[in-house]
Amino acid sequence: MDASDLRPTARPSSERERSEHSEGSGGTPTLEFAEGVPYDRYVHASTLHSLQQTLSDDTGEMSFLMISQVMELYFGLTRYELREVQRLLREDDVWGTLLPLRRAALHIEALNAGWHGLRWMTPADFNRFRDLLGDASGFQSAMYRQLEFLLGLKTASLIRPFRRQPDVHAELAGALRSPSLWDDVIALLARQGHDIPADLLHRDFTEEHRSHPVVEAAWVEIYRDAGPDNHLRLLGEALTEVAEQFGDWRYQHLKSVQRAMGAKAGSGGSEGLGWLQRSMARVVFPELWSARTFM
């Protein structure tokens, strides 16, 4: 199916038309449509509900599969919001970034709730269908990797699994080479008059940003002004919420793995729990956290 076939379609209508229609029908909903149900044409619900194709008859696998799919959608939605934040940062519209950052934090909060739907899963429950997954692993999620790169957690080797998917690989390579959201924040601080070294602004963006005392000092200075017109401080708090929610997701992931499989090796070739524990040590927006020691 071509992507254009999934483009939502709907006939625009005005408030007046809706009111007239409701009055004419006596307030009852429309039950007949000439071109199919408009809701399905817009949301593609029938397509979404056709994608749950389990590998076993175990009823628990449906939960595992569907929650994984919902998480994929939230990864993409969060990335969409953070890309909008990047666009606004590059236009120096600090105030404008606050709403998409708030939405992104709420999306990640909803993403975190997905783990609750897997809290029933013991090792025995997982083992009933785990072998059928082969070497498939959430580690291989391209959209999650996109989100990590955007948040500044970059590792060049992690795009290698996608070499046989040229479009996916090219998009990931582009994300790896591009400034992260945090890089754009640091560039904004420089344009706002903070003394940011040139080597931070013109670095190799494929490398993960390392915490820098000058960036830390800039945030200490920003937070000294607690007034409502200090948009950079509001930006800092909005970014902190995103980082905190993302950290919660990583922790819930670790606990879910620990609950369902303990310290067994991961299906994607990693050591599983140990890999996730090391991943949690990488901090999103590091100077926003370290600066708080000096405020």
Amino acid identity at 281: A
CA distances from 99 to 146, 152, 195, 289 (A): 21, 21, 28, 21
The distance between the two most distant Cα atoms of the chain, rounded to a whole number of Å, is 68
Gap between the Cα atoms of 164 and 53, Å rounded = 23
CA distances from 125 to 9, 55, 260, 261, 268 (A): 41, 15, 8, 10, 19
DSSP helix/strand/coil, 205: coil
Gap between the Cα atoms of 100 and 146, Å rounded = 18
Gap between the Cα atoms of 214 and 196, Å rounded = 7
CA distances from 202 to 182, 197, 286 (A): 13, 9, 19
- What is the CA 256 to chain-centroid distance, rounded? 18
Q: For the beta carbon of residue 118, count every other beta carbon within 10 angstroms.
A: 19
Q: Is 130 annotated as a binding residue?
A: yes
Crossing angle between the packed helical segments 213-223 and 231-261, to the nearest 10 degrees: 120
Gap between the Cα atoms of 241 and 104, Å rounded = 9
Gap between the Cα atoms of 132 and 61, Å rounded = 10
Q: 48, 59 in Cβ contact below 8 A?
A: no
Sequence ranges of the binding site for heme? 253
Sequence ranges of the binding site for substrate? 130
Sequence ranges of the binding site? 130, 253
